[in-house]
Amino acid sequence: MDFKKIIKDVFKDVNSIEEQGALASYIPELANVNSKKFGVHISTLSGINFGLGDFQEKFSIQSISKVLSLCLAYQMLSGEVWDRVGVEPSGNPFNSLTQLEKDRGIPRNPFINAGALVIADILLSNLDDPKKDLLNFIRSLSGNQDVNYSTSISSSEKSIGYRNVALCNFIKCFGNIENEPDKVLDFYFDLCSIELSCKDLSALFLFLANNGKTMHDNRQILLPSKTKRINALMQTCGFYDESGEFAFKVGLPGKSGVGGGIIAIHPGQYAIAVWSPQLNPKGNSYKGMKFLEGFTTLSELSIF
C-alpha cells in the first residue's frame, strides 16, 4: 500500500477545495488560530511515518484528550468506570445539559463533556498528582517528553466555561462527582488545553492500533479486550452527534476536538492525525473529515 502517494493525492485535492466552516471562537484563545492551517501525519505498525503540510505544528487537541484520560482511568479501575458513565452515543451536542436530567447524572458516554468531567473526577480521586500523572502517562505512550498543558488556553476556556461549570455542578447534585466541582473543572480545562502536533498524535495513539501495546518500548498499556472497547467507543461516540456520518464516510474509530484535530485508528494497521481548524456545524474539522473520507476511499482501507 503506497500510503505516501495516497496522502499526497488526497491532501492536494482537499487543500484545493473552498474553505468552509468556522473557528471554535467560543474559546477566545482559539479565535486567534490561523484558519488556513492544514496538516496530516500517519504512523503505521509497519514503521511508516509520513506527514504533509503543518504536521509538525502544535495545536490545541481539546476533546481528543478525552480518549487519553479515559484510557488512564480504565487502566486503573477496569469495569467500575462504566458504573459512572455510559457507552451509548448521545445524539445531542457535546455540551448538552438536557439528557443528564433524564439519566440522573450518568453521562451517556465518556467523550461528551459531561462524561469527561466524570472521568476527570475519577482521576482526581485515584491519582496522587493528577495533573502530573496524566502528563506522564501521555508522555510515556510515545516516549515523547515534549507534551504540555497550555495555561493560556486553559485560562481562556475557564473565563467563559459557564456551561461546563453548570454540567459539573448538575452531575454533582446527582452524586456522580466526588470532588469539589472547582477542582474537577480546573483539571478538565487543563486536560483540554494539551497541545500536540499531528506527528505527536499519530505516534502516541498508535498503541490503540496495536492491541494496546506501545511500539517504541513494547509495553502493554491496555489489555486487548479494553483496547477493543476504547476503539468501539471512538467509533460510536467520537464525533459528537456526527459519529454516524463519520462511520458512514470514513469508517474508522476516531476522535475529534474543537481545535480542529482528528485522530483516527485502523486496528492492526495505523493511526492517522489531521488538523484543520475550521469546523463544520457539528463541531468537527471540515477539511479533516473530507481528508479522511478521501484517504479511506482511495486506500480501500477502513474497518468495514
Q: Is 237 an interacting residue with respect to ligand GLU (CB under 6 A)? A: no
CB 255 within 8 A of CB 64: yes
Q: Is 200 an interacting residue with respect to ligand GLU (CB under 6 A)? A: no
Q: Is 274 an interacting residue with respect to ligand GLU (CB under 6 A)? A: no
Closest approach, Cβ 188 to ligand GLU, in A, equals 7
Q: Is 167 an interacting residue with respect to ligand GLU (CB under 6 A)? A: no
Nearer to ligand GLU, 62 or 96 (CB): 62
How many residues sit in the footprint of ligand GLU (CB under 6 A)?
10
Q: Is 299 an interacting residue with respect to ligand GLU (CB under 6 A)? A: no
Nearer to ligand GLU, 162 or 304 (CB): 162
Handedness of CA 25, 29, 34, 38 (dihedral sign): negative
Closest approach, Cβ 61 to ligand GLU, in A, equals 8
**Residue (of 255, 251, 257, 196) closest to 27 by Cα position:** 257
From candidates 29, 54, 121, 157, binder to ligand GLU by CB under 6 A: 157
Q: Is 257 an interacting residue with respect to ligand GLU (CB under 6 A)? A: yes
Q: Is 258 an interacting residue with respect to ligand GLU (CB under 6 A)? A: yes
Binding mask 82-121 for ligand GLU (x = CB under 6 A): ------------xx-----------------x--------
Q: Is 62 an interacting residue with respect to ligand GLU (CB under 6 A)? A: yes
Q: Is 142 an interacting residue with respect to ligand GLU (CB under 6 A)? A: no
Q: How far apart are CA 146 and CA 107, in angstroms?
A: 32
Q: Is 164 an interacting residue with respect to ligand GLU (CB under 6 A)? A: yes
Q: Are strands 261-266 and 254-256 parallel, antiparallel or unpaired?
A: antiparallel
Torsion angle in degrees (nearest 10) through CA of 292, 294, 298, 303: 40
Q: Is 63 an interacting residue with respect to ligand GLU (CB under 6 A)? A: yes
Q: Is 278 an interacting residue with respect to ligand GLU (CB under 6 A)? A: no
Contacts to ligand GLU by CB under 6 A: 62-63, 94-95, 113, 157, 164, 192, 257-258
